[in-house]
Structure 1
Amino acid sequence: MVQRGFDVITIGAATIDAFVWAKEFREVKSRVFPTGVGECFSLGSKIDIDKFVQTTGGGATNCAATFANFKLKTACVTRVGDDLFGEGIVRDLKRHGIGTDLVMVVKDERTAFSTILVVPSGERTVLVYRGASERFDPAEIAWPKLKTKWFYVTNLAGNLAMLERIVKTAKRAKAQVLYNPGKADIRRGIGHLRTLLGGVAVLDLNREEAAELTGKPLGEVKEMLRGLQKITRGIVLLTDGDRGGYYFDGKRMLFAKPRDIKALNRTGAGDAFGSGFLVGWMKKKEPVFALQLGTENAEGVIQKIGAKAGLLTDMPSVKTLAQVKVKVI
């Protein structure tokens, strides 16, 4: 029996997030934007800010906070600069009860920083300086210390050598991997990712990422799920913003519809969904329950400012979870 020091170890980015609200931020529909909608304001003007909030963020720290909230023994593998922002991130991890011995404080590098420009609807544009989080090197990691039941892997900035080492470490230790790839990871393409995805128990990505990875049109969600599941042979989660989330394990294909809740902020909703799902899966290995818990966790986040403020801290009641409708599709 392999001794497991942690229930979950998260691996990925740690950032400082600065949220900025201004009435002058506008949503403009146009085909010149990849998403069909742009966030705009007047060039050359000085804009008054209505509100400014600074928090910690990054997929690795956001997801670790969910696991720690549910009393799972959690550690975070991430890189921060030897600066005040890095100190703040480590301090916040400790405040949440998350192990920080695996956090790498790197001299001569800056901690990652994001500026989030929020429009009145709650949608946002994120300006990202990836800093220290962009340069993972497998040689830096104290691999013998990574004893856990689950690895929760977020954005690796396209470093597939790091993902390969995680998958091999997990296989050797009989641990499991949930992988939530970032844009740079996705851009490496299915040819580079195919073999590694076979070692992933849960693949979690959004609809746009799934379309890019599979080459399928955005509307062909079922075909994306089937194509990705054939590669992973595990569970595929596909999120579709405020429209809901999908699950496919090769047999059951499910859709979870969230409640109609006004969003103050959508940053961190994907992290909250994926980490909430994994908490539910670890507890019951029942997909409906896990989807409901992940959706509830995401709904909490979008009603608060910052990626951690609205995370669940207790298990919702059966009645509350039942408000998230899950159906077979």
Structure 2
Amino acid sequence: MSNMTVVGSLSTDFVVTADKRPTVGETIFGELFTTTFGGKGANQAVAAARLGGQVSMIGTVGSDLFGKEIVLNLENNSIDTTFVERVTQKPSGSAHITVVDGDNSIIYIPGANDEITKEQINLAQSQLESSDVVIIQNETPLDIIEQVIQTCFEKGIKTIYNPAPAKKVDQALIDQVTYFTPNESEFTLLFPTLTLSEGMAKYPNKLIVTMGSKGVYFNDGEKEVHVDSYKVTPIDTTGAGDTFNGAFGVALTAGLDMIESIRFGNLAAALSIQKFGAQSGMPTLVEMKESGLYEKEWNIK
């Protein structure tokens, strides 16, 4: 079983579906409103746990009702919450999502996620050191991201850094991570002077660019590699990238090579977008194996 730690955000998603997005000053009727659990960190932790990973979460929530429900949801997904701290000075994080024709736009409010501290990471040192892989994203403060990645680099712990939402990242930080997984738009923001091919050549077997329905690209040190996506009709793309990252981590720690790990992640993401909601759409390992697209040679248990 994969021993994984996710450091990152936890929030509540407030989701509206509509047949169009309003223009400035316009009020329109929506079709549906719901609340779901989210935060890129929590999403990736849930994705990994449902696929058989033994997952521990490091993060921060408020002392409000939303925070209590966020922690309970993690525990209901068999995620260790020992290192999830409750704070009183800020409310729990939230994301406000509009879904139109299966595509989403998001306003994210960090709230308590910004209150994670270096001391909290230090207290979780033993958890980090026991991990086969550590996953981190950009919805926590940059100094925390740097601390986690540097610690893992010094201890020889594999890391998956999903730089979403995109923010300026120091070259030295990228050098220290094992896998760097932006999507296409994040790559453009992070590397404005590089073409996709130039970026992948600069970071072989590290830079993995997810491109939705166009699949995933990386450079294996000799050539560019394209791993195609699984073609499905999306209902809600929210959380697809998080599903990919969690599944990719599970596959890597199960011993699959880069290409097969990406394929496993692609299938998990494809299944997730056929249901509504970020976490509610994430497949279990049983659901993955029930898919006609599942490869028996993956042999993930």
Q: Do they fold alike, i.e. is TM over 0.5?
A: yes
How much has 1:125 moved relative to structure 2? 1.1
Give how far 1:264 is off.
1.2
Tell me: CA distance 1:317–1:92, structure 2 relative to 1, closer, same or farther (3 Å): closer
- Give the partner amino acid of 1:198: D
Deviation at 1:173, TM superposition (A): 3.5
2:114 match: 134
Residue 148 of structure 2, aligned match among 166, 177, 187 = 166
CA contact (8 A) 2:39 2:94 kept: no
Does residue 1:59 correspond to 2:36, yes or no?
A: no
Corresponding residue for residue 298 of structure 2: none
1:245 aligned partner, one-letter code: V
Structure 1 distance, partners of 2:225, 2:160, is 18
Question: SS in structure 2 opposite 1:263?
Answer: coil
* One-letter amino acid of the counterpart of residue 53, structure 1: T
Which residue does the alignment assign to 1:79? 60
Any idea what SS the aligned residue of 1:272 has?
helix
Q: Which residue of 1 aligns with 2:96?
A: 115
Instruction: List aligned pairs for 1:137-156, cutoff 5 A.
Output: 137-141=117-121, 142-146=123-127, 147-156=130-139
- Paired residues, number: 290
Q: Structure 1 residue aligned with 2:276, among 300, 305, 321?
A: 305
Gaps in structure 1 of 5+ consecutive residues: 26-39, 323-329
- For 2:111 and 2:198, locate their aligned partners in 1 and report how far apart those are by CA, in whole Å: 36
Change (3 A) 1:187 1:64: closer
The corresponding residue for 1:199 is 176
**136-145 or 95-104, which moves further after superposition?**
136-145
Q: Report the equivalent of 2:17.
A: 21
Q: Determine the structure 2 residue equivalent to 1:320.
A: 293
Larger mean Cα displacement after TM superposition, 285-294 or 208-217: 208-217
Residue 215 (structure 1) aligned with residue 186 (structure 2): no
1:174 shift after superposition: 2.9
Residue of structure 2 in register with 1:326 after alignment: none
State the 1:291 CA deviation. 1.5
Map 1:86-105 to 2 at 5 A. 86-105=67-86
1:281-328 Cα deviation digits (max 9, x unpaired): 222331221121111111111111111222221253795146xxxxxx
2 CA distance for matches of 1:273 and 1:241? 10
1-side partners of 2:253 and 2:223: how far apart?
18
Structure 2 CA distance for aligned equivalents of residues 283 and 252 of structure 1: 25
2:210 to 213, 222, 239: 239
- What runs of 5+ residues in structure 2 fail to find an aligned partner? 296-301
Alpha-carbon contact 1:158-1:187 (below 8 Å) kept: no
Q: 2:138, 2:164 within 8 Å by CA — same for their partners in 1?
A: yes
Cα displacement string for residues 62-91 of structure 1 (whole angstroms, at most 9, x for unaligned residues) = 111122112221111111111011111001
- Which residue of 2 is the match for residue 12 of structure 1? 8
Taking the aligned partners of 1:114 and 1:99, their CA distance within structure 2 comes to 23
Contact 1:216-1:224 within 8 A present in 2 as well: no
SS in 1 for 2:176: coil
1:264 to 235, 247, 268: 235
Query: CA RMSD of the aligned region, Å?
Result: 2.2
Identify the residue that residue 34 of structure 1 maps to in structure 2. none
Stretches (4+) displaced over 6 A: none
- C-alpha change, 1:156 and 1:117, in structure 2 (3 Å) is closer
Identity, % of aligned positions: 24
Distance (Å, rounded) in 1 between the aligned partners of 2:50 and 2:254: 14
Q: Choose 1 or 2 for highest CA Rg.
A: 1
* Distance apart, 1:50 and its partner CA: 1.2
Structure 2: distance between partners of 1:6 and 1:269: 21
Query: How far 1:42 moved relative to its partner?
Result: 4.6
Counterpart residue type for residue 320 of structure 1: L
Residues in 1 aligned to 2:25 and 2:180: alpha-carbon distance in whole angstroms: 43
8 Å contact from structure 2 (residues 273, 281) kept in 1 = yes
Counterpart secondary structure, 1:305:
coil
1-side partners of 2:220 and 2:290: how far apart? Answer: 26
Range with bigger deviation, 296-305 or 220-229: 220-229
